[in-house]
Amino acid sequence: MSDDAQRPEPQIDDDALEWVESFATAWEPNGPRAEGRVLGLLLICDAPYLSAADIGRMLRMSSGAVSMSTRGLTASGFLQKHTVTGDRRHHFRADDDVWGSFLAGERGYLHRTMQVLRDGMALEAGSRPGPRTRLETADRYMRWLEKYHRKMLDDWRAYRDSPDQEDE
């Protein structure tokens, strides 16, 4: 019998569900609202992980919407897949430092984007002055961000782990 079959069905109270909706509204300028709902749920839920079916039931979302949301959030580093022995269903969890995980996962995005920009510069269209300037500027920005990225992640971890942090 799987660990998941032994644990009680996760629940969410009305106040927490209202907070999830507020989180999703705040998230919406950055991505699909459904992703914000899923991430919000996993941030506020007591369960260490939730199955895709649990997420759908708790948020009253279709399995397709849950699947698309969890796929996007996992790819961007906000969620992690969780394996339950003996259970073939998909399970997900948010890391305790979901923002640090996102920041660490951004490196893949930077590398993919830099390659696409270089591919664009290799095209005939990328050799014309206007497109070339825009593509080179974007490439320089991505290279600059990549160099600064490691420092940003180190700075975040030091800030996160220092005692008695106060806003400056």
- Residue 35, Cα to own-chain centre: how many angstroms? 9
Instruction: Look at the chain and report how many structural domains it folds into.
Output: 2
**Residue-number span of the structural domain to which 125 is assigned:** 98-161
Judge if 16 and 54 occupy the same domain.
yes
Pair (75, 108) in one structural domain = no
Q: Say what the pTM is.
A: 0.78
**Final residue of a structural domain among 66, 93, 120:** 93
| 123-143 per-position pLDDT tens digit | 999 899 999 999 999 999 999
Check which CATH number belongs to the domain holding 27 and give it.
1.10.10.10
What was the pLDDT predicted at 6? Answer: 65
pLDDT digits (tens, 9 = 90+) for 67-78: 999 999 998 889
Same structural domain for residues 22 and 66?
yes
Average pLDDT over the chain reads 90
What is the 3-state composition of the chain as percent helix, strand, coil, each rounded to the nearest 5?
A: 70, 10, 25
Answer yes or no: do 106 and 142 share one domain: yes
Of the pLDDT bands very low, low, confident and very high (cuts 50, 70, 90), residue 1 is very low
